[in-house]
Structure 1
Amino acid sequence: MSDRNDIDPFYDDRSDPVRVLVVDEAERGERLATGLEAETDRIAADTVPTVDAALEAVDRRPIECLVSTVHGPDGTGDELLAAIRDRYPAIPVVLVVPDEERAREAIDSGASDVVVAESVSERCFVLANRITTAADRYRADRRADRQRRRFREVTDAVPDCLWIVDPEWSELSFVSGYERIWDRTAAELTGTPEDFLNAVHPDDRERVRAAMDRLSDGTSVDLEYRIRRDDDLAWVRTRGEPIVDDGSVVRLVVLTRDVTDRKERERTLSALHSAAREIGSADEPAAVYETLIRTADRVLEFDYVAVDIKRDGYLVQEASTLDLKDGGYYERTSLENDDTFAVRSYKRQETILVDDLREFDVTPADPDYRSALTVPIGEFGTFQTGASEVGAFDRDDREFAELLVGHARVKLAQLQDKRVLRERTEQLERQNDRLDEFVRVVSHDLRNPVNVAKGHLSIAREQYDDDSLEATMEALERIETLIEDLLTLAREGEEIDDLEPVDLATLVPECWRYIDTKDAALEVETDRTIAADRNRLRQLLENLIGNAIEHGGSDVTITVGDLPEENGFYVADDGTGFANGEREKVFDPGYSTGVDGTGLGLDIVRRIADAHGWDVRATESDAGGARFEIVGVE
């Protein structure tokens, strides 16, 4: 039988009328039902004439009390009591009996209550009271059953173990979910503290016993410890609260949760962090590979772990938990000719997880291997682990392996960059040594013969008036200019460490005084002070002014002005400007349109600008001549 109270566990039926079914001969039953309703508004009574009709009525709708009489030879009350108790043992049945003897018989047969009366009308008030009392007990029992059922449903839905136990740990009043945590039934508990301690790992047992004692003394506890389940170990967290009544602990409420997965994740993360630190401090690739193998072997705990490194078109085993002499792993595989999961993973640069190797055409080195997990280590190679079980690897294993390999990949790239940088540094040092030797040769070994030649030529010119001697002197001077430019070019490639404030309006006229300006004119339209190496900035300005005079004509006007929007300045002239396609080549080393030019002057300008962190570009001036803009100046 079900009703709205069974559907709604929070429904309170105490204010509803008691639903009574009177089972008796039609006229007598009607009189009885009417009399009961007249006595109290707590009763709502219906009538049926027979026991069969009563059973059908109880099957159809909720009835909270049945009433019948045992008057006469028909035995209706006795028959009703037997039928109801067989099918609905909890529904109250109140009988009206003629004497005390029949009352005792009715109670012995299972009647909820009896009223002794020759005539029901004589005791209708008493009968109504007995009915409501029996119904109230019935309702209270049903409410308690519903609460227990709902509580059981809630506790069964929670993946924890809940028990309520006395302070001596000897009597369980409730337990739920015990089998889920301990992998054994609660029926195996015998009611002693040892029941709770036998499953605890021996190393944690005393700590758990001490917590049980503290809980029994009235102190809340919260601890984690290991338990044994068959051949496995698991971690649980237990929280206990004492229930105190009138100053005494009357019961203990204990909740235990399986935290094995969390503990495993913590262990895995701890191993990953330790490995990351070791990998980060490695100074050689071999140390990275060793950490990969050791960490994966400790955490994943599978049959083998190996690292293959790409060398000359092959994946070659670099580190492994296996001895190649024992077989079970390929010493090397060809990236071109072999088809293994390591080769596939490396070529695709993606993780490959195989639950059953026998479902693929790829044959492992050891046929006993059934599962494999392969992760590419970027361009360097592959990481692989295998197991003899089918489906040995899960998502957590894959995530761990990818994170671990990710750390290794980053470190190997750093080590490779350091190696390349070291090689480049060594190469640059060798180049600098050759450059120093070149500067020495140019500044001493080449300049000295030129000076000797010029000296002898001067003597010859005093003795002979020959145009060829003048041409020879010009050639020697050109060689001398070329030497100076080469030395300047070598020097200007160096980085600038110290900058100082330089006033352009003062420096430009100083540069002008040291140049053969012929009939050229200078206009200074700037009052900027910039951060620069003064000597090298002087070289830049002298080269630009000299270039303007050389290519713009002897009477060219040169203007030095500001570029405020681009943080820079310019050097412009009103000469002939650039020919088609010339502007893109002027900074190339050796490029020159002048007969006597070395082609290094503007290359030196570019190098000085680069050393300062500036940009220099060639464009056309407002007057149609050449204009050089230097931008990015502080």
Structure 2
Amino acid sequence: MHPSTATSESIRVLHVDDEPDLVDLVATFLEREDERLTVETTSTVADAVARLDEADIDCVVSDYEMPGRNGLDFLETVRTDRPDLPFILFTGKGSEEIASDAISAGVTDYLQKETGTEQYALLANRVINAVERARAEQAEQRQLRAIETAHEGISILNADGEFIYVNEAYADLYGYDREEMIGAHWSLIYPDQDTRSIRETILPAVRANGFWRGETTGLRADGSTFVEDHRLATTDHGELVCTVLDTTEQRRQKRAIEELHSTARALIQAETAEAVAEIAVAAVRDILDMPANGVHRYDESDDRLVPVTWTDRTEELVGEPPVFESGEGIAWEAFAAGEPLVHDDIATNESRYNPDTPIRSQLAIPLDDRGVHLVGSPEPAAFDETDVSLAKTVAAHATAALERVERERELTRQNDRLATFTDVVSHDLRNPLNVAIGRLEMAQKACDCPHLADVDQALTRTETLLDDLHAFARAGIATLDPEPVDLTTLCRTCWGHVETGEATLITDTQQAVHADESRLQELLENLFRNAVEHGGDGVTLTAGDLEDGFYVADDGVGIADADKDVVFDYGYSTSRDGTGFGLSIAREIADVHGWDLRVTDSETGGARFEIHDTETSER
């Protein structure tokens, strides 16, 4: 492992969230996570827009669901005036539709809120990476503009269209010596089929307006052609000044950047590290036109770099890529340094892994501490600054995707361990619990002891806790078999499974929900059970439709405002006999489906639970 390298420049972050306590908490953790971070906070989009006009902000972190204008509205406003400002959507609303809309609107990154403080380290890392990428891209753009200006070709023609001056850059563009061009006619450097258009359209426009700018096709001395950005202007003496820039590379870069947007979307959707590597390798091969490339992942247990995927051209040149042990080759050198390495000719580099390799140019880009992306060519000096910049862009997207895959894999492992733990606990406790219940029944028949009723109550509560613990663990495991489920029919079925007493259910829904039926049944039963237990005698429940989901409301005593933020926390209950798992189970099932479960007040003052972001249809 190696420490990551980063700029020492300060980073000013604007965090926008309508929860004051949350923004203060996030600010504290981010500034504690990295001393370069300074966090300013606002609770509304309007205040955030005003703050952007007042201060130099390096990165915006915004919630999605806020009063008045949501996070996507805010993103569109920011992108109007600040297209390159890093913008991270940090939200508890985690549907694929929101992620897709955010990507389309130009979001830099998308991070769903989780429980626990580990997420703030991840958020800090995303902020720093986004700002560093933005700063690097801005620096590269400034450098590119300077290079373009310095390499512009300039020539002067007399009234007869003959060159009387050309600079070195101009002559180089067309593959001639300067002396060869002096005295030659401008038609020398244009294809025959284009000269008529230049004579009849472009030159008259220059004479009429004094200036013309557009694209033309230049003809080199070797017969090849290229697209040029061409500017023409007349002088007071009737001469014609020509400024020409070869836009082939610029057009290639623009096209590559556009195509890399689809690669970024594919990386966001990748489910495994292997899939991430395959997408990155294909992008470098097909979009950046670097046919020999591959990804090595870091194997922490053996401290080595292991090949994951590579192109056919790589295998043609070097065979199956080797495993790099600690300290071996340019690959390990770049990985250990945490910095991209570019070698124009590794034949003279003592760090090369294979002295007899046909590879001459080598580009090694670390993927943080997860591996390294290697690009090679049998030609020396094959990679220019544009190649390196674009390859680094691919690596940055791949690194972020690998980070997300690892986080999701760890979450799956945690869920699996939780399920295994609860299964074992439930099984191992069930037998002695049954023995205790049986012995209690025998004791109640044998004697009349006043303490046995308390024992009965305690054993019953223990059995309920075991059932709820097992259901809670199962609810968080993302194994779904979704299908259209008629909500009215399922509500009536669930009502029959709950002890309802004098309570009444009204179904006012006309839709089918795309869901795992057994999981949705658990969710509804827990909502019904909660309403019956807390709503009071004779409570009436109503199940109805929403534009993007459905709701369950009651006319009971409702939920205090102070309790609404914690009502879904496991273990929380206002009832002496409650286990505090019912609503936690409902929230877990909603999360697994990608739904948003909220609590509010019903029209009658009771509790109303709304389930948003569901996929529904008319039944």
TM-score (normalised: structure 1): 0.44
- Which structure has more relative contact order (CA 8 Å, sep 6+)? It is 2
Kindly name which structure, 1 or 2, has the bigger radius of gyration based on alpha carbons. 1
